[in-house]
């Protein structure tokens, strides 16, 4: 089955530093990838839609200068949390599908802790 | 704006019972609806995908239905097992290609 790999699975960083999270579709090409954020015991909040070769589409309230998304190829999207603060600590999950009518597959998520 | 609601928020049932989880959405202009399970601290595992033209999908003990006109979907789990304990999420892919999740149902199967 389709596999989406997300790395790292967890990261601890200091306030003010930047963290990059990678999302790869291992056995299919994904023109679109989605980035979600999840707070404890809450559902997934869509942050942005990452489109290969073009700018990401951010949801209302998500700072695009803080959460930089780069979809460099059909199999790789990256999310960079810039100048991280403790309130950015969260569980970040990416997802991808082959097409709009294909199942959405998720990475295993990245637990970010900012100290 | 698409809104997805899941009821109940939490459910506990004895092992062996059949159960139904509910998902409703406000905008029927969708491509598809997908059910997932999430274990604590983990990513999401896809269970079933129903296209907008379909009415149901089955996989093993799971059966998902879709009534697009009324904005509802159900996930039926037969003969529940302790390993079914998890949070179940439904997600709707709208025509604007946004994928919106419900808040999930936390299911606990009592041994």
Q: Which residue, among B77, B51, B84, B41, has the nearest Cα to B62 in the 3D structure? A: B77
Q: What does the pLDDT look like over A53-103, one tens digit per residue?
A: 888 999 999 999 999 999 888 899 999 999 999 999 999 999 998 888 888
Q: Which residue, among A43, A44, A50, has the nearest Cα to A97 in the 3D structure? A: A50
d(CA B52, CA A54): 28
Residue with tokens 């997934």: A44
C-alpha distance from residue B19 to each of A64, B10, B81 (Å): 42, 12, 11
Q: Is B103 on the interface with A (CB under 8 A)?
A: yes
Chain B positions in Cβ-Cβ contact with residue A101 (cut-off 8 Å): 31-32, 51
B 33-72 near A (Cβ less than 8 A): 34, 36, 41-46, 49, 51
**B4, B43, B59, B91: best mutation site toward chain A, by most A Cβ within 10 Å?**
B43
Taking the C-alpha atoms of A93, A94, A99 and A105 in order, what is their torsion angle to the nearest 10 degrees?
A: -50
Taking the C-alpha atoms of A63, A25, A113 and A15 in order, what is their torsion angle to the nearest 10 degrees?
A: -50
d(CA A4, CA A73): 14
Contact between A44 and B89 using a beta-carbon 8 Å cutoff: yes
Q: What does the pLDDT look like over B67-104, one tens digit per residue?
A: 999 999 999 999 999 999 999 999 999 888 888 999 99
Q: Is B13 on the interface with A (CB under 8 A)?
A: no
Q: What pLDDT is attached to residue A1?
A: 59
Task: Find the CB nearest B101 among A43, A105, A111.
Answer: A43
**B2, B45, B99: best mutation site toward chain A, by most A Cβ within 10 Å?**
B99
Quick one: pLDDT band at residue A2, thresholds 50, 70, 90?
A: low
Chain B positions in Cβ-Cβ contact with residue A104 (cut-off 8 Å): 34, 46, 49, 91, 93, 99
**B6, B44, B105: best mutation site toward chain A, by most A Cβ within 10 Å?**
B44
Q: What does the pLDDT look like over B22-72, one tens digit per residue?
A: 999 999 999 999 999 999 888 899 999 999 999 999 999 999 999 999 999
Q: What does the pLDDT look like over A26-58, one tens digit per residue?
A: 989 988 899 999 988 788 899 999 888 888 999
Q: Does the CA dihedral B80-B84-B90-B91 come out positive or negative?
A: negative
CA B81 from centroid of its chain's CA atoms: 17
Chain A positions in Cβ-Cβ contact with residue B100 (cut-off 8 Å): 46
Give strand pairing partners of A82: none
């Amino acid at each position: 089955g389709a596999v989406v790999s997300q790395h790292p699975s967890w990261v601890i960083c200091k306030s003010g530093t930047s963290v990059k999270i990678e999302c790869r579709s291992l056995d299919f090409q994904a023109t679109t990838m989605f980035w979600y954020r999840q707070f404890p015991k809450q559902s997934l909040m869509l942050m942005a839609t990452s489109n290969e070769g073009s700018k990401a589409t951010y949801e209302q309230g998500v700072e695009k200068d803080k959460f930089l998304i780069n979809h460099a190829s059909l199999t790789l999207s990256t999310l960079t949390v810039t100048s991280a603060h403790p309130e950015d600590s969260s569980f970040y999950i990416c997802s991808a599908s082959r097409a709009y009518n294909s199942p959405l597959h998720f990475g295993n998520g990245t637990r970010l802790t900012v100290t | 704006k698409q809104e997805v609601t899941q009821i109940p928020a939490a459910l506990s049932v004895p092992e062996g019972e059949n159960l139904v989880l509910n998902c409703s959405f406000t905008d029927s202009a969708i491509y598809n609806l997908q059910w997932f399970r999430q274990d604590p601290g983990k990513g999401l595992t896809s269970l079933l995908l129903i296209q907008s033209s379909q009415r149901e999908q089955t996989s093993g003990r799971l059966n998902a239905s879709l009534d697009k006109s009324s904005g509802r979907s159900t996930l039926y789990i037969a003969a529940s097992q302790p390993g079914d304990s998890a949070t179940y999420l439904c997600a709707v892919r709208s025509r604007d290609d946004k994928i919106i999740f419900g808040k999930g149902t936390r299911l606990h199967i009592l041994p």
